Structure 1
Amino acid sequence: MVQVISKCGEPTIPRPMAAFGLREGRFRVELSPTPVGLRQIGDPFSIRVRPLSAVRQGHSDPRQSPPILTFRCLFQRFDLSMRVAFLSNESYIGWLRKKVGNGLILSPSVGAVIHDHQGRLLLQEKSSGEAWSLPAGGIELGESPQEAIAREVMEETGYAIHIHGILGVFGGRTFRYTYPNGDQVEYVVTLFQCRIIDGSGIPSDAETKSTRYFGRHEMPELALPYPKDDLFRAF
């Protein structure tokens, strides 16, 4: 949860916001549009965050432009009488799980096939101890598949990518998966061929324990049964 509005205009950013490069401290937070302008679930809104010290000192240096964080509306309405309003950056799947529990759901998703100069495939090792995986994830409300794969690869590997093309779309019973907590999902995955164009290689997602390139004959078992011919198709 992100504390975004208070009457004094000086909410404290909680520790999870460090993922967006914000340190703990006192900040002025500006919401656009105002809560009254958010009509339905899925509406986008932005949060502009400025350190309170900069606000007090009247800093306006464009090189110190405050970050803008984009979230999605997950509420049907807002109680404007509250002293502090809370908006959520929770994922769509997280929101849906609160409605349906751990029953089977269908998840439109994306995955990335990324090779190094030796033709080896980039995989993600999960912090949870689950099987290795492609950089992949669910598509959020209002997000295109191309936007989703760029976001997922950056979060899980720390790399910016260029999308070369679509390898295929995969789904059905063989793409069902049960998580350690009992959540069941059937994925419909658009698989993209991608190449790295920038980035630190340092994941920002706590789900990633490590990343590593594998050759075709040293591949570990993957969480989902992608055809190897597609994973190692040259491009």
Structure 2
Amino acid sequence: MMRRFGAPKQRNQRYIPRPGAYAILATGQDVLITHQGGAFDEYQLPGGGIDMGESPIAALHREVMEETGWSIRNPVRLGAYRRFTFMPEYDLWAEKICHIFAAIPVRKVCPPLEPDHSAIWSDARTASKILHSAGDRHFVQTYVRDL
């Protein structure tokens, strides 16, 4: 059974499965995270939804580029977790299946392509405290400790 982080599934609420791929991009004890401003105002691991017919690895490369402007290489799957949440930008209740990868940041190609996103280098301890998702915080704490 996949570990759940965050709020439990609400009774009588229909959830749409929403798989996503997210990256821990570490250099030493620093990690590249994103800040999504605007209505969200939260720190996140770079990544996002896997589109229909898209592989998790292709989604990971695309989402990291869109949210940070960085190219990556050598993604390795670390695990996955689920969380139940309302996604106001899509007006839907989602069962997010979050596939977490470690990858090597190669180079900054461009500024973030998504509106209200900025790429931020943070030490792993700080990132593991400020990331919005408890699942993301757990994976950063576990992965960086294992380096």
Give the TM-score category using the shorter length.
0.7 to 0.9
Higher mean displacement: 127-136 or 145-154: 127-136
> Aligned equivalents of 1:161 and 1:214: distance in 2?
17
1:170 aligns with 81
Whole-Å separation in 1 of the counterparts to 2:87 and 2:97: 16
Which stretch has the larger CA shift, 223-232 or 161-170? 223-232
Deviations 1:11-36 (A, max 9, x none): xxxxxxxxxxxxxxxxxxxxxxxxxx
Contact 1:109–1:139 (Cα < 8 Å) also in 2: yes
Structure 2 Cα separation of the partners of residues 144 and 136 of structure 1: 13
Q: Distance in 2 between matches of 1:169 and 1:177?
A: 16
CA distance change for structure 1 residues 180 and 113 in 2, over 3 Å: closer, same or farther?
same
Question: Which ranges of structure 2 fall in alignment gaps of 5 or more residues?
Answer: 1-13
| Paired AA for residue 144 in structure 2 | F
TM-score (norm 2): 0.75
**Which residue, 36, 51, 66 being the options, matches 1:155?**
66
Does the alignment pair 1:109 with 2:109? no
Structure 1 segments (4+ residues) deviating >6 Å: none
Partner-residue secondary structure (3-state), 1:115:
strand
Note the 1:12-161 alignment, pairs <5 A: 104-116=15-27, 118-128=28-38, 129-161=40-72
Q: How many residues align?
A: 129
Distance 1:147 1:183 in 2: 24
Q: Provide closer, same or farther for how the CA distance between residues 215 and 170 of structure 1 changes in structure 2, counting only shifts above 3 A.
A: same
Gaps of 5+ in 1: 1-102
**AA aligned opposite 2:32:** L
- Greater Rg over alpha carbons, structure: 1
Output the CA distance in 1 between the equivalents of 2:109 and 2:92: 32
Give distance in 2, aligned partners of 1:189 and 1:142. Answer: 17
Matched, 1:214 2:122: yes
Q: What are the Cα deviations for residues 104-146 of structure 1, in whole angstroms up to 9, with x where unaligned?
A: 3210111000012x32121110023332100010101111101
Q: Shift of residue 206 of structure 1?
A: 1.1
If each structure's strand is expressed as a fraction of its own residues, which one has the higher value?
Answer: 2
SS in 1 for 2:29: coil
Q: Contact 1:163/1:192 (CA < 8 Å) preserved in 2?
A: no
